[in-house]
Structure 1
């Protein structure tokens, strides 16, 4: 959910990034690049990226409409993330023999149906079912889109092709989520879901004539994925990443009630703060990539987690001692939100960098597992945030986020020896 990173094929935040893009076979590269096709793939990624996090900006309104608490509404994001994390590796294996064009179009069709279902859902159970379907379709679409981008581009331009498709996820964080929040606040969150479905349908309509037939890449059996997962360095990198993401998303999933509680803005005003987060995310992607090149992925990752922890601790202090002057509270909140956003989105390029430089037999499989670790962190963060919000205390919410982040920082420090090979 950021521009292309320099550190490997998994180029976005776990939400942001495909689960198995690194496993594409090179195949026969064509002579030119179909830019319209790549843009259509990016539009599909934009719609999925927006859909995966848009509920965070519409939390209170959805909770009221579905007659549930904000904590329960937040679990819609957690379930999406958990289903994505657990199903993506399994789906990659089960669909390994299906042509990429057929699989991608089927994934987009399922995504459209899931959002139409969510838009008309009369209650929480059907809404939850729509989130499960959306997660399954996202787990199919994102890696498939990357395989197609790589397979249909000449070797010298494959990095740019990946960056363009991944840019759809980046744009979703920077523009799609705040814009969707504004539309949902002014009109209805159901309209937002309808627009997301419509955008995916447009992408599918464009891709039907544009997509060439692409053979599936070589399948990676689950047992090989599990063997890579058991590598101490890979396991340490994935566990620490899940913890860091959990701390980040304890706060982000409940950003709407937090923003309203500190600044006093209404639902439409929340979109402005989501825009701050989106701009910070783009800056963080650049900072993380450059820091990884300059200092190595292990040091850059540890530094990003340290800044994230410090930002969350200061946010907890601000929440507990909200200044009586509204403009001062808003200014401090904006600055801290930007700092946390930069640190959060500096994590993915550093994470990819440290995994890519580990001494493992199949680094692309290790990279492919990283998306699942990020989504597991998102799911855990949503669950912990829901428990913290159960008492209705924003201070407890942010204290929980800072506590998880400090635990992640301690885990990064203690696992440093296992990741020594990740320094470039």
Structure 2
């Protein structure tokens, strides 16, 4: 494994911790600022929307900047956002700090995915992307539970101080391990945007929005669901997050492995199983034993979507991998924001804390439908191309090839 992948994974660990740790601290934050749980959930959807805006904007603005320097600048922005969150005297400023940190998130993973893919052979690209995202899944196994535990005992602000410190460590890792390479002389905004004329790019991003959003519909409100519905104590929440994080970790690695072998078939299976699991979670959330079985499986199949979804959009935009990659990171977080909002809507409507689970199941099923349509369209286009080549005059065939 190239050491640069380790640096990217360390950075992903810090970013993943700040993104997900707030879910285990929603009750503490809501109580401190005297707001409802759905209102506190805006810290999740607001972060996600910050990624949606920041990913393409900062990627375009940094198109002429060498990738290593851009990664360092983004990590500096991430540190600043977490310090703002830690010091925020009001809910609005906490939300603003989350958005600042989120601006760094999307562009970092977008550029980082391209850097990771360029470090290995073409047939190992999904695996390299998965290794970078291992830091994100490790954050769910270690960073999020420990951050939740820290916040419960020493106040939620202490968590953001520690996350800022993680950002400093990540900054040092990038500076020391990521190779410095010249900027892309061929980078042009028009060239990057031209890739989005391919309908498959948009279909891939739509699959990302719906498929990854499915997980967040349930995961956003996991803390109140586990305490109010299942009956776990508040102190059990960090360990349940560890269980979920172990599933994410395994799913990310498996998703990368299978995506390198059969990307679309893997995606069909993963999304179908995820839809079933989320539907079942509506019922198993009432049982402690059911939660211990279902929760890690949702983690496995939920995060197994990440490598194939990220590689799919990069494959469909070979002339503009950086912007397409960042755009798909934005799509991941648009799904997060949509799902967090929908989960809050059904809870506020009185359907209870398990209602976001069936919302997630519907989103996963919709993602499967889009993926199946994209696959059918791709096969039809490939068949049409073969027919055109077959009908060409014999002398023109070699040139067409």
> What TM-score results when the alignment is normalised by the length of structure 2?
0.83
Are 2:47 and 1:80 aligned?
Answer: yes
* CA distance in 1: counterparts of 2:361 and 2:129, whole angstroms: 34
Instruction: Give the corresponding residue for 1:362.
Output: 319
Report if the CA contact (8 A) 1:316-1:399 is conserved. yes
Report if the CA contact (8 A) 2:141-2:249 is conserved. yes
Instruction: Point out the more displaced range, 203-212 or 67-76.
Output: 203-212
Instruction: Give the corresponding residue for 1:331.
Output: 289
Are 2:85 and 1:118 aligned?
Answer: yes
Instruction: Give the corresponding residue for 1:137.
Output: 104
Instruction: Give the corresponding residue for 2:268.
Output: 302
Question: What secondary structure, in the 3-state scheme, does the structure 1 residue paired with 2:305 have?
Answer: helix
Q: 1:239 aligns with which of 191, 200, 206?
A: 206
Instruction: Give the corresponding residue for 1:67.
Output: 34
CA shift in 2, pair 1:336/1:136, >3 Å: same
In the TM superposition, residue 350 of structure 1 has moved relative to its aligned partner by 2.8
CA shift in 2, pair 1:92/1:63, >3 Å: same
Question: What secondary structure, in the 3-state scheme, does the structure 1 residue paired with 2:184 have?
Answer: coil
Q: 1:318 aligns with which of 284, 299, 302?
A: 284
Instruction: Give the corresponding residue for 2:224.
Output: 257
TM superposition outliers: structure 1 runs of 4+ over 6 Å: 147-151, 153-156, 158-163, 209-212
Are 2:344 and 1:386 aligned?
Answer: yes
* CA distance in 1: counterparts of 2:28 and 2:371, whole angstroms: 37
In the TM superposition, residue 354 of structure 1 has moved relative to its aligned partner by 4.2
CA shift in 2, pair 1:149/1:400, >3 Å: closer
Q: 2:333 aligns with which of 358, 365, 375?
A: 375
Instruction: Give the corresponding residue for 2:134.
Output: 167
Instruction: Give the corresponding residue for 1:350.
Output: 308
CA shift in 2, pair 1:411/1:256, >3 Å: same
Instruction: Give the corresponding residue for 2:243.
Output: 276
CA shift in 2, pair 1:367/1:162, >3 Å: closer
Instruction: Give the corresponding residue for 1:9.
Output: none
Report if the CA contact (8 A) 1:40-1:207 is conserved. yes
Pair member with larger Rg: 2
* CA distance in 2: counterparts of 1:148 and 1:235, whole angstroms: 23
CA shift in 2, pair 1:367/1:127, >3 Å: closer
* CA distance in 1: counterparts of 2:381 and 2:238, whole angstroms: 38
> What TM-score results when the alignment is normalised by the length of structure 1?
0.79
* CA distance in 1: counterparts of 2:381 and 2:244, whole angstroms: 29
* CA distance in 2: counterparts of 1:190 and 1:288, whole angstroms: 34
Q: Following superposition of structure 1 onto structure 2, how do residues 396-415 of structure 1 map, counting pairs within 5 Å?
A: 396-415=355-374
Report if the CA contact (8 A) 2:134-2:252 is conserved. no
